[in-house]
Chains A and B, each alone.
Chain A
Amino acid sequence: MALFKRIESAIDGSIGRRRLGYALLGLVILFFLWFPNDTSQSNYVKTVFISGFFYAILSSSWALLAGIAGQFSFGHMAFMGIGAYVAGLFARDGITFAALGIALTPESISSVGAIVIGTIVAGAVGLVIGWLLLRLRSAYLALFTIAFSELFRIAMLTEYDYTGGSNGLSLRPLLQVADVDTARQIEYYLMFALLIVCLLLMYRVAHSPIGMFLRAMREDEDAASALGVNVVRYKILIFVFTSMIVGLAGAIFYSDIGSERIIPEQLEVLQMSLIIAYAVIGGMESLLGAAAGAFISRYLLEAMREVVITLPLGLTLPDGSDAFVWETGAWRFALFGLVMVFTLRYMRNGLLYPILDWFSGRDLIMQETVSIRKSDDDVAADMEDSG
C-alpha cells in the first residue's frame, strides 16, 4: 500500500494522472488500430475482437440505460434484434403500397437504407415501450421488458415463413468482399469505428445536463420531478436513444460483410444476462468501464475455452504429459456468474471503474455513488450531535 502511495504521488508530481490516463487510452486505441495488421494473429482472434466491440456497444448502452438512468430494462437484446430483423426484412422483401403507386423493391433499397430503417424502427418501438413503461418501476419494469423480449423472440422463432425461424435471417451485406482476410479487416475497422462513435455519442449525452437529470431521476424520481425535471420526457428520451444505438449496432453487426445471421437464440434472456454481467463487472455507472468490461470479459471467455497449465521444473502428470489441460466448457460461465455476484456484493462500482476513476483524479466514485450517502439514522444522529 505504501508503495502504491509513493507511485501515486510520483505520478501526480510528474505528468499527472489525467495525462497518463489519456496517454494510456491513446495507446490502447493505437493498439486496436494496429492489431489487424499483425499477420501472426489468426482470423479467429479478429472475430473475437469484432464480437467484443459489438458487445461493448451493447453493454455500455445498457450501462447508460440502467446504471445512469436507473431503468432496469431486460429488453435490450430485443431492440438489437428489431434493428437487425427489420433491416434484413426490408432489404429482402422491400415494401409496396399499390394504392400510392409507391413500390420499394428490394433492389431499390440500399443496405445502408435498410440499416437506417432498422434503426428508426427500433427507436420507434423504444418510444412506444418507453411510454408504456412510465408507470412501472424496478421489478415490474424488469418483468415487463423480459415479457416483451420473450414475446419478440418467440414471434421471430415461430414466424419462420418470414424470418427463417431458428435458421436465422441473413442481412444484405454492406460490403461484398471476396478475400477472407480483407473482409475480416474491414469488418474489424467498421465495428471499431462504430464502437468509438457510439461511445462518444453516449458520453456526450451522459455528461450533458440530460445526464444530470437522468442521475437525479435514478436517485429519487419524485424529488427530481419536484425540482423541475421533466421525468416523462427524459425517461422516454433515454429509452429511445439507447434503443436506437443497439438497433443500429445490431443492424450493422449482422449486415457488415454478411458473415453472420441473426438468429432468435441471440435474443434469449441468457444473452441479455451476459450483457448485464459484462456491464456489472466493468462498472455499471461508467460507459467506458462497461465497454471495457464487455470487451475484456468476452476475450477472457474465449481464451478460457481451454486452459493449459504447463507444469514447472520438468514435473509430469501421471499420464506422462507435462501440461495440465482443462476443457472448461460451461465452467467458465459458472465462474463468470460467480465473479458477477461477488462484484455486485463487494465492488458495486465494478472491477474496472475504480481504475478508470483513479486516472480521472477526481474521485468520481465518491461523487457519483450513493454508497457513502448517509442513511436517515446517521443524519438524525448528526442533528442530535450538533443540536
Chain B
Amino acid sequence: MVIEDTLFILWLMVAGPLWAAVGLYLLPNLNHNRSEKDQLPVTQLQIAGVIGGFALGPIGVGLFYFEPHLIRRTTIAAGIIVTVFVSSQVLVRVVEPNLPSVLWLVLAGPLWAALAAYFIPRQYRMVEADDQNVLTAAALGGFAIGPLIFGLMWKHTPKISRDWMIILGSLGAWQIYTVFAINNPDNLCVAAPFHVTYLTQQTANGVVIGAIYSLMAVGLTLIYSVQGIVSFAHGQLYMVGGYFSFYFLMFGANFLSDLTGTEVTINPLWGIPVAAVIVFVMGAAFERAFLKPMHDGLIERVSEYAILITFGFGFFIEYTTLAIAGPFPQRTGRFIEIRRFTLQRTQITDDFAFGPINIIGDRVFAMIIGIVLIFALLYFLQRTWTGRGLRATSQDKQAAAVAGINPTNMNTLSFALGSMLAAMSGAALIPIFAWVPWVGAEMVGRSYVIVVLGGLGSVPGALVGGIIVGIVEALGAGCHPDPSKGAAYKEAFALVIFALVLLLKPTGLFGREQH
C-alpha cells in the first residue's frame, strides 16, 4: 500500500489543519450554554476539536459539537485509527486509479449527504415544521446536489412530498451512472451503440426474477402485518417447498411410470400446490405450538422470542433437509418447452439497432405464476370474509375480536399462509435454480431487503420492492467492471440498498408509520 504523495499531502495540508482549527475554535463554545457545574474542561474540548477536525474533518467537529458526550479519549483514539486506516484504503484502492470524477462522488457526495441528514432535520424541528421524510430527502439531496440542498431546505423548510424523493433520487442515480460511464467507457452498460439493448436486457431479466422474489416477500410481509414478527424461518420454508415439489415430482413420476408401464414425467407446475399444502400444514402446526403462547401472554419479550424461535425452526428444517436430501444440487424438469422468448433485432437508424432481447422461457412462466398468485392473494385479502378478517386483525386486534373475528385463528392463518407463499415460490423456482439445502439462506436475505424497501406489512410494497431488487441485482451484476466479481457481489447490491433504507427511511416506500 503506497499512497500517492501529492494527493495525501494535499489532503493533509488543506483539509486536516483547516478543520482542526475550526474544531479548536468551535468546541470550547459548548460551555457557553451550560450551567456552572456542567462545564466541560476546556483543554479536553480543544484537544477533541483538533483531533476530531484533523482526523474526520467537518464530520468530527460536528459530531463532537452536537454530541459532546462522545468526547472521550477512547472514542478519539479509535476514531483516528479507523480514519487513517479507512482513508488510506479508500485513497489507494478507489481514488488513486481514477481520480477526478470519483473523488467528488465518493468523497463529497456521501459527505454532503451525511451533513444534510444530520443538520436539516434539526432545522426542521427547530422551526417546528413537519419533519416527515425530511431525513430521507436531505440525505438524497445532499448526495445528488451537494451543498445546494441546504439552500433549498434550510430557510423555507418546505413540506417534502414524494415528488421530491423521486426527483432527487433519480438525480443521484443519474450521477452515479455518469461517473460510472466516465470511468468505464468500455463497459457494456455504457458503450454505445449496444448499451440500450444491454440495459433493457438486464432490466427485463431483473423484472422477471423480481416478480418471483416478490411472491416470497409477500408471505413475509403478511406474517408481519398480522403478527408483528419477522419470520426468520422463511428462507428455509422456501427451500423446503422446492424439495417437496422435487420429491413429489420424482416419486409421482416413478409411481405413474410403474402403473402405466411407460415413461411419464409430471409438469413441475403440479409440484406447487403439493408444496403449498404441506408447508401450510407445517406452518400452522408450528404457529400453534410455538407462536401461540406468545400471543397468550405466556412469554415475555415477545419480539426477541419470535426472532429466536423462528430462527431455531429454520435451523431445524435446514439440517433435517440436509440429512435427508444430501448436499447435492437438484433440479426438476421444465415448465414449458420454449427455451427462450426473443424480441427480434430492429434497425432504428443506420447506426443504431435495438435488440435482440432474450428471456428464458421458464423464468417468464415463473414470473406469471408469481404475479397470478399475488393477485389471487390480493383478491383473497380484499374480497373474502376471511381475508378481510386478516386485514382487520392486522389493523386492530381488539376491535377485530369485537367484530367476531377470532384473532388466534387469524394469527395461525397468517403464519401458515405466509409460509405457504414462501413454499410456492420455492416450488416455482426449483425448475430454474439448482437446489441445495442452503439455498434458502441466500434467498431470504433478498426478501428481507424487499419487505423493508417496500415497507414491512405492505403487500403492494412487496411487489414493487421485489421488482426493484430484481432490477438492481441484474444491473449491478451485469454492469460491474469485473464480470466475475459482479456476479459474486450480486446480493451485496441489494444489501446496500437495505442498509440505506433501514437507516434513512425504516418505514420503507409504502410502510405505515410505526405507532
- By a beta-carbon cutoff of 8 Å, the part of chain A in contact with chain B is 66, 70, 72, 93-99, 117, 120-121, 123-125, 127-128, 132, 135-140, 142-144, 146-148, 150-151, 154-155, 157-158, 218, 230, 232-233, 240, 268-270, 273, 276-277, 280, 329-331, 333-334, 336-338, 340-341, 344-345, 348, 369-371, 373, 375, 377
Of A142, A151, A157, A158, which is within 8 A of B495 by CB?
A151
Our pick among A139, A146, A330 for the contact of B319 (Cβ within 8 Å) is A330
Contact check, B82 vs A140: say whether CB atoms are below 8 A apart.
no
A338 touches B316 (CB 8 A): yes
Q: Does B119 contact A (CB under 8 A)?
A: no
In the complex, A336 Cα to B313 Cα: how many Å? 11
Q: Is the interface of A mostly helix, strand, loop or mixed?
A: helix
| C-alpha gap A144/B501 in the complex (Å) | 10
Query: Closest 8 A-B residue pairs measured CB to CB?
Result: A337-B316, A124-B82, A333-B319, A330-B323, A337-B315, A330-B322, A138-B303, A334-B319
What's the least CB distance linking B68 to chain A, in Å?
Answer: 12
B312 interface neighbour in A93, A143, A157, A340, Cβ under 8 Å: A340
Q: Can you pick out 28 interface pairs between chain A and chain B where the beta carbons lie within 8 Å of each other?
A: A93-B1, A94-B1, A96-B2, A96-B3, A98-B4, A121-B85, A124-B81, A124-B82, A127-B79, A136-B506, A138-B304, A138-B307, A140-B452, A147-B498, A158-B485, A158-B488, A158-B492, A268-B441, A270-B441, A277-B312, A280-B312, A333-B323, A336-B315, A337-B317, A337-B319, A337-B320, A341-B316, A348-B305
A144 touches B499 (CB 8 A): yes
CA distance A330 to B322 in the complex (A): 6
B1: contacting residue among A96, A99, A280, A338, CB under 8 A = A96
Do the beta carbons of A95 and B297 come within 8 Å of each other? no
Task: Determine whether B69 belongs to the interface, using a CB cutoff of 8 Å to chain A.
Answer: yes
Measured CB to CB, the closest approach of chain A to B309, in angstroms, equals: 5
Smallest beta-carbon distance B419→chain A, Å: 15
Does B355 sit within 8 A of A, measured CB to CB?
no
- Residues from chain B with Cβ under 8 Å of A96 in the complex: 1-3
- How far does the Cβ of B407 sit from chain A's closest Cβ, in whole Å? 16
CB-CB nearest in chain A for B488 = A158
Residues of chain A within 8 A (CB-CB) of B323 are: 329-331, 333-334
Q: Contact: B69 with A277, CB < 8 Å? A: no
Interface string of B415-451 (1 = CB under 8 A from A): 0000000000000000000000010010001001100
Of A140, A230, A340, A345, most buried by chain B (CB within 10 Å of CB) is A345
| B2 with A150: CB separation less than 8 A | no
Q: Is the CB of A370 within 8 A of B319?
A: no
Stretch in B5-13, B271-279, B368-376, B466-474 with 4+ CB within 8 Å of A: B5-13
Tell whether A95 pairs with B448 under 8 Å between CB atoms, given A120-B81, A140-B502, A330-B322: no
Q: Find chain A residues with CB under 8 A from B506 CB.
A: 135-136, 140
Tally of A-B Cβ pairs under 8 angstroms = 174
> Please, which residue of chain A has its CB at the minimum distance from the CB of B482?
A158
Q: How far is the CA of A346 from the CA of B287 in the complex (A)?
A: 15
B301 located at the interface, meaning its Cβ lies under 8 Å from any Cβ of chain A in the complex: yes
Closest beta carbon of chain B to A304's beta carbon, Å: 13
- Asked if A273 and B315 make an inter-chain contact with CB atoms under 8 angstroms apart, the answer reads yes
Bound-state CA distance A136–B2 (Å) is: 39
Q: Which residues of B contact A140 (CB under 8 A)?
A: 452, 502, 506
Q: How large is the interface on B (under 10, 10 to 19, 20 to 34, 35 or more residues)?
A: 35 or more
B243 to chain A, nearest CB (A): 14
In the bound assembly, the distance between CA atoms of A270 and B440 in angstroms comes to: 11
Complexed CA–CA distance, A313 and B146 (Å): 84
Question: What residues of A have a CB within 8 angstroms of the CB of B441 in the complex?
Answer: 268-270
A100 to B448 Cα, complex, angstroms? 45
CB proximity of A108 to chain B, nearest CB, Å: 14
Taking a contact as CB atoms under 8 Å apart, the answer to whether B303 and A123 are in contact is no
Chain A positions within 8 Å of B270 at CB level: none
Contact B448–A124 (Cβ < 8 Å): no
B307 touches A97 (CB 8 A): no
Check B489 for interface membership: any CB of A closer than 8 A.
Answer: yes
Q: Which residues of B contact A (CB under 8 A)?
A: 1-5, 8-9, 12, 69, 75, 78-79, 81-82, 85, 88, 229-230, 232, 289-290, 293, 297, 299-301, 303-309, 311-313, 315-320, 322-323, 438, 441, 445, 448-449, 452, 485, 488-489, 491-492, 495-496, 498-499, 502-503, 506
- When distances are taken between beta carbons in the complex, the residues of chain B under 8 Å from A125 are 82
B247 CB, nearest partner CB in chain A, Å: 17
CB–CB B492/A123 < 8 A: no
Q: How far is the CB of A75 from chain B (nearest CB, A)?
A: 12
Q: Is A334 in contact with B320, judged by CB distance below 8 angstroms?
A: yes
CB of B495 within 8 A of CB of A344, answer no
Task: Give the Cβ gap from A107 to chain B, nearest Cβ, in Å.
Answer: 15
Q: Is the CB of B88 within 8 A of A97?
A: yes
- Distance in Å from the Cβ of B143 to the closest Cβ of chain A? 17
Which chain A residue lies CB-closest to B294? A345
**Distance of A330 Cα from B324 Cα, bound (Å):** 9
CA distance A19 to B139 in the complex (A): 59
17 additional A-B residue pairs with CB within 8 Å, beyond A99-B5, A344-B290: A70-B304, A99-B3, A136-B506, A138-B303, A143-B452, A146-B448, A150-B492, A150-B495, A151-B496, A154-B492, A158-B488, A233-B69, A270-B441, A276-B311, A333-B315, A341-B309, A375-B297
Which chain B residues lie closer than 8 Å to A373 at the CB level? 300
B312→A124 contact, CB < 8 A: no
Query: Do B8 and A97 have beta carbons less than 8 Å apart?
Result: yes
Query: What is the CA–CA distance of A154 and B499 in the complex, to the nearest angstrom?
Result: 15
Within 8 Å CB of A337, what residues of B?
312-313, 315-320
Shortest Cβ distance from B69 into chain A, in angstroms? 6
**Residues of B contacting A147 in the complex (Cβ-Cβ under 8 angstroms):** 445, 448-449, 495, 498-499, 502
With A96-B1, A373-B300 in contact, do A340 and B293 touch (Cβ < 8 Å)?
no
- Closest-by-CB residue of A relative to B63 is A131
Most chain A beta-carbon contacts within 10 A, residue among B69, B232, B317: B232
- The distance from the CB of B305 to the nearest CB of chain A, in whole angstroms, is 7
Q: Collect the chain A residues with CB atoms within 8 Å of residue B81's CB.
A: 117, 120-121, 124
Q: How far is the CA of A348 from the CA of B300 in the complex (A)?
A: 10
Given A330-B319, A341-B316, answer yes or no on A146-B75 (Cβ-Cβ < 8 Å): no
Alpha-carbon separation in the docked complex, A330 to B229 (Å): 29
Please indicate the chain B residues that have their CB under 8 angstroms from the CB of A218 in the complex: 301
Chain B residues with CB under 8 A of A137 = 303
Q: Please tell me if the beta carbons of B485 and A95 are within 8 angstroms of each other in the complex.
A: no
B476 to chain A, nearest CB (A): 12
Question: Are B438 and A270 within 8 A (Cβ)?
Answer: yes
Assess whether A72 is in contact with B307, with CB atoms less than 8 Å apart: yes
Q: How far is the CB of B338 from chain A (nearest CB, A)?
A: 34
* Nearest CB on A from B451, distance (A): 9
Query: Using Cβ atoms and an 8 Å threshold, which residues of chain B touch A151?
Result: 492, 495-496, 499
